[in-house]
Amino acid sequence: MSEKTAVIHQPDFLPHLGFFHRLLQADIFIILDHVPLSKSGWVHRDKIKTPQGEQWITIPVKKNGLQPLICEAEIDYNPHYGKIQKLLHAHYSHAPFFQEIYPPLREVMERRQARLVDFNLDLLNLALNWFDIRIEKIEISSTLGITTRKSQMNADLVAAAGGAVYLSGPGAKAYHEDGPFSQAGLTVAWQDFHHPVYQQQHGPFIPYLSCIDLFFNCGILNSQKILRSCV
């Protein structure tokens, strides 16, 4: 039996291509939803491209005075939420593949899921389907009963999900600790991602935008090829 590679990531909102590049190499995807929702994180926001450059699009989250866990955060369907579709339409309606991408994207966004995590997972499933990424096993961290933190938490999650190799993004090197993984008999691998350049609207190329920028500009089939060119 081959060793299973696991990826752990928060359920980001329409994330950039590096997110999906790692999932191309994963047998197990552990959705990290039992940690606090960061105001400066990417679970409720990402960037698109406009004639003025990159711009944030943000899902408004209900405020109750406390910092919620990702699995507890609820969407605030206030007027600001409606601006997201308007921004996408305004800045991508002339993109080559707008008619291919926007209707199914709009259908998902109009389901009005109460929880942010459910909304994001609907969008992630749509993007995974468009990228033709098939993952053998998907786990939700809040269902695994792990109470440790930091590197120990990641090692415990990988072990609980049946993984043998933990594929981490390079941004984690600053705080990663090998000890918990070696003690559990797990191997740590590091993602090697070089962002592809593709045809965009609105001037010079900008990397690390939401994946939706690639889909609108290049379409589903070309997006699959472009993502796989990074592996």
Per-residue pLDDT of the chain (231 residues; tens, 9 = 90+): 579 999 999 999 999 999 999 999 999 999 999 999 999 999 999 999 999 999 999 999 998 878 899 999 999 999 889 899 999 999 999 999 999 999 999 999 999 999 999 999 999 999 999 999 999 999 999 999 999 999 999 999 999 999 999 999 998 999 999 999 999 999 999 999 999 999 999 999 999 999 999 999 999 999 999 999 987
What is the reported pLDDT for 111? 93
Positive or negative torsion for Cα 126, 128, 131, 132: negative
Residue 27 near residue 164, CB atoms below 8 Å: no
What is the reported pLDDT for 231? 75
Residue 187 near residue 181, CB atoms below 8 Å: yes
Alpha helices in the chain (DSSP H): 17-23, 79-92, 98-109, 116-131, 150-161, 179-183, 211-228
Name the 3-class secondary structure at 69.
strand
Give CA–CA dist 15/45, Å, rounded. 9
What is the reported pLDDT for 194? 96
Residue 146 near residue 157, CB atoms below 8 Å: yes
- How would you class 118 by CB atoms within 10 Å of its CB: exposed for 0-12, middle for 13-18, buried for 19 or more? middle
Q: Give CA separation, 11 vs 8, 40, 182, in Å.
A: 10, 14, 27
What is the reported pLDDT for 1? 55
Give CA–CA dist 91/209, Å, rounded. 13
For the question of whether the overall pTM of this predicted structure is more than 0.85, the answer is yes
What is the reported pLDDT for 4? 98
Residue 210 near residue 12, CB atoms below 8 Å: no
